[in-house]
Amino acid sequence: MNLPGIAFTVAGVAALAAPCTAMAASAPMVLPGGLLDPSFPNADVYVGTPKAAQPSDNPACKVAHEYVTLINAGDYARVADLYAEHATFLEPTRPTLFGREAIRAFYVKRIGSMKPQVMPVSYLGEGRECVVTLALGTKIGDEQRYVLVSVDHFQLDEDGKVLSMTAFARPERHL
Protein backbone atom coordinates (compact mmCIF):
# COMPACT_ATOMS: atom_id res chain seq x y z
CA MET A 1 0.00 0.00 0.00
CA ASN A 2 1.27 3.48 -0.77
CA LEU A 3 0.20 6.73 0.82
CA PRO A 4 1.69 10.10 -0.21
CA GLY A 5 5.25 10.08 1.07
CA ILE A 6 4.87 6.74 2.89
CA ALA A 7 5.52 3.29 1.48
CA PHE A 8 4.27 0.21 3.31
CA THR A 9 5.53 -3.26 2.57
CA VAL A 10 4.79 -6.54 4.27
CA ALA A 11 8.46 -6.92 5.18
CA GLY A 12 8.65 -3.36 6.51
CA VAL A 13 5.57 -3.73 8.67
CA ALA A 14 6.81 -7.11 9.93
CA ALA A 15 10.18 -5.58 10.81
CA LEU A 16 8.52 -2.78 12.74
CA ALA A 17 6.15 -5.16 14.54
CA ALA A 18 8.77 -7.73 15.56
CA PRO A 19 10.43 -5.69 18.32
CA CYS A 20 7.04 -4.63 19.69
CA THR A 21 5.79 -8.21 19.83
CA ALA A 22 8.88 -9.42 21.66
CA MET A 23 8.76 -6.46 24.02
CA ALA A 24 5.06 -6.87 24.79
CA ALA A 25 5.69 -10.28 26.30
CA SER A 26 8.35 -9.04 28.70
CA ALA A 27 7.76 -5.34 29.42
CA PRO A 28 4.82 -3.48 30.93
CA MET A 29 2.40 -1.85 28.49
CA VAL A 30 1.77 1.85 29.11
CA LEU A 31 -1.90 2.85 29.38
CA PRO A 32 -3.75 5.77 30.92
CA GLY A 33 -3.28 5.39 34.66
CA GLY A 34 0.02 3.55 34.48
CA LEU A 35 1.58 0.30 33.41
CA LEU A 36 0.02 -3.11 32.85
CA ASP A 37 1.74 -6.02 34.57
CA PRO A 38 3.26 -8.39 31.96
CA SER A 39 3.03 -11.30 34.41
CA PHE A 40 -0.75 -11.34 33.69
CA PRO A 41 -0.88 -12.03 29.94
CA ASN A 42 -4.60 -12.89 30.05
CA ALA A 43 -5.81 -9.83 31.96
CA ASP A 44 -5.28 -6.07 32.06
CA VAL A 45 -3.82 -5.80 35.58
CA TYR A 46 -2.06 -2.59 36.55
CA VAL A 47 1.36 -2.56 38.17
CA GLY A 48 0.53 -1.01 41.53
CA THR A 49 -2.31 1.47 41.92
CA PRO A 50 -3.09 3.35 38.72
CA LYS A 51 -2.99 7.13 38.74
CA ALA A 52 -6.50 8.54 39.05
CA ALA A 53 -7.45 10.87 36.22
CA GLN A 54 -9.08 14.19 36.96
CA PRO A 55 -12.00 15.36 34.85
CA SER A 56 -11.76 18.48 32.74
CA ASP A 57 -14.25 21.32 33.09
CA ASN A 58 -16.51 19.50 30.63
CA PRO A 59 -19.96 19.19 32.28
CA ALA A 60 -20.40 15.57 31.19
CA CYS A 61 -17.00 14.62 32.62
CA LYS A 62 -17.93 16.28 35.90
CA VAL A 63 -21.07 14.12 35.99
CA ALA A 64 -18.99 11.03 35.15
CA HIS A 65 -16.64 11.94 38.01
CA GLU A 66 -19.60 12.31 40.39
CA TYR A 67 -20.79 8.89 39.19
CA VAL A 68 -17.42 7.35 40.14
CA THR A 69 -17.47 9.13 43.51
CA LEU A 70 -20.97 7.83 44.32
CA ILE A 71 -20.12 4.27 43.23
CA ASN A 72 -17.03 4.27 45.45
CA ALA A 73 -19.04 5.71 48.37
CA GLY A 74 -21.60 2.92 48.00
CA ASP A 75 -24.37 5.48 47.42
CA TYR A 76 -26.04 3.48 44.64
CA ALA A 77 -29.51 5.03 44.97
CA ARG A 78 -28.03 8.49 44.40
CA VAL A 79 -26.22 7.26 41.27
CA ALA A 80 -29.64 7.03 39.62
CA ASP A 81 -30.32 10.68 40.52
CA LEU A 82 -27.66 11.61 37.95
CA TYR A 83 -29.93 10.19 35.22
CA ALA A 84 -32.82 11.93 33.45
CA GLU A 85 -36.31 10.57 34.14
CA HIS A 86 -36.45 8.81 30.75
CA ALA A 87 -32.77 7.88 30.46
CA THR A 88 -31.39 4.74 28.88
CA PHE A 89 -28.58 2.62 30.26
CA LEU A 90 -26.92 0.09 27.99
CA GLU A 91 -25.28 -2.29 30.43
CA PRO A 92 -23.00 -4.89 28.86
CA THR A 93 -24.38 -8.05 30.50
CA ARG A 94 -28.15 -7.51 30.40
CA PRO A 95 -30.89 -5.82 28.37
CA THR A 96 -31.00 -2.05 28.06
CA LEU A 97 -32.62 -0.34 31.03
CA PHE A 98 -35.17 2.42 30.45
CA GLY A 99 -36.03 5.09 32.99
CA ARG A 100 -34.47 6.34 36.20
CA GLU A 101 -36.31 3.91 38.49
CA ALA A 102 -35.19 0.83 36.52
CA ILE A 103 -31.67 2.22 36.58
CA ARG A 104 -31.93 2.85 40.34
CA ALA A 105 -33.09 -0.74 40.95
CA PHE A 106 -30.14 -2.05 38.92
CA TYR A 107 -27.57 -0.02 40.88
CA VAL A 108 -29.08 -0.77 44.28
CA LYS A 109 -29.55 -4.51 43.71
CA ARG A 110 -26.84 -5.57 41.28
CA ILE A 111 -24.03 -3.07 41.82
CA GLY A 112 -24.85 -2.77 45.52
CA SER A 113 -24.34 -6.51 45.95
CA MET A 114 -20.86 -6.24 44.40
CA LYS A 115 -19.69 -3.06 46.20
CA PRO A 116 -17.06 -2.20 43.57
CA GLN A 117 -14.22 0.26 44.03
CA VAL A 118 -13.33 1.84 40.71
CA MET A 119 -10.51 4.12 39.60
CA PRO A 120 -11.04 6.51 36.69
CA VAL A 121 -7.87 6.29 34.61
CA SER A 122 -8.96 8.66 31.82
CA TYR A 123 -11.68 11.14 30.96
CA LEU A 124 -12.31 12.43 27.45
CA GLY A 125 -15.15 14.85 26.88
CA GLU A 126 -16.59 17.38 24.52
CA GLY A 127 -19.91 19.17 24.64
CA ARG A 128 -22.46 17.06 26.49
CA GLU A 129 -20.49 13.83 26.15
CA CYS A 130 -17.77 12.16 28.20
CA VAL A 131 -16.00 8.84 28.01
CA VAL A 132 -14.38 7.54 31.20
CA THR A 133 -12.09 4.51 31.39
CA LEU A 134 -12.38 2.56 34.65
CA ALA A 135 -10.15 0.12 36.52
CA LEU A 136 -11.69 -2.10 39.21
CA GLY A 137 -10.03 -2.78 42.54
CA THR A 138 -9.60 -6.55 42.83
CA LYS A 139 -7.90 -8.88 45.32
CA ILE A 140 -5.30 -11.00 43.57
CA GLY A 141 -3.74 -13.33 46.09
CA ASP A 142 -3.29 -11.19 49.19
CA GLU A 143 -2.73 -7.99 47.25
CA GLN A 144 -5.13 -5.23 46.16
CA ARG A 145 -4.70 -4.74 42.39
CA TYR A 146 -6.58 -2.85 39.70
CA VAL A 147 -7.88 -4.40 36.49
CA LEU A 148 -8.99 -2.39 33.47
CA VAL A 149 -12.69 -3.26 33.17
CA SER A 150 -14.72 -0.77 31.16
CA VAL A 151 -15.12 2.33 29.09
CA ASP A 152 -18.34 4.19 29.92
CA HIS A 153 -19.88 6.74 27.55
CA PHE A 154 -22.08 9.41 29.15
CA GLN A 155 -24.40 11.68 27.16
CA LEU A 156 -26.19 14.52 28.95
CA ASP A 157 -29.50 16.16 28.16
CA GLU A 158 -29.96 19.94 28.08
CA ASP A 159 -30.58 19.94 31.87
CA GLY A 160 -27.23 18.28 32.63
CA LYS A 161 -28.75 14.89 33.51
CA VAL A 162 -27.49 11.63 31.99
CA LEU A 163 -29.72 10.93 29.00
CA SER A 164 -27.81 7.83 27.97
CA MET A 165 -24.93 5.81 29.38
CA THR A 166 -23.35 2.91 27.57
CA ALA A 167 -20.86 0.69 29.41
CA PHE A 168 -18.38 -1.15 27.20
CA ALA A 169 -16.85 -3.91 29.31
CA ARG A 170 -13.49 -5.59 28.71
CA PRO A 171 -13.89 -9.36 28.37
CA GLU A 172 -13.59 -11.13 31.71
CA ARG A 173 -10.24 -12.85 32.03
CA HIS A 174 -9.19 -15.52 34.47
CA LEU A 175 -6.33 -14.42 36.67
Going from the N-terminus, what domains does the chain have, and what CATH number goes with each? 59-169 (3.10.450.50)
Nearest-angstrom CA–CA distance, 159 and 41: 44
The answer on pLDDT for 24 being more than 50 is no
Q: Is the torsion defined by CA of 135, 114, 42, 37 positive or negative?
A: positive
Nearest-angstrom CA–CA distance, 121 and 134: 6
The answer on pLDDT for 19 being more than 80 is no
Work out the mean pLDDT of the chain and round it to a whole number.
85
Residues 33-46 have pLDDT tens digits of 999 999 998 889 99
pTM score over 0.95:
no
Nearest-angstrom CA–CA distance, 55 and 11: 42
Q: Please answer whether residues 141 and 123 qualify as being in contact, where contact means their C-beta atoms are separated by less than 8 angstroms.
A: no
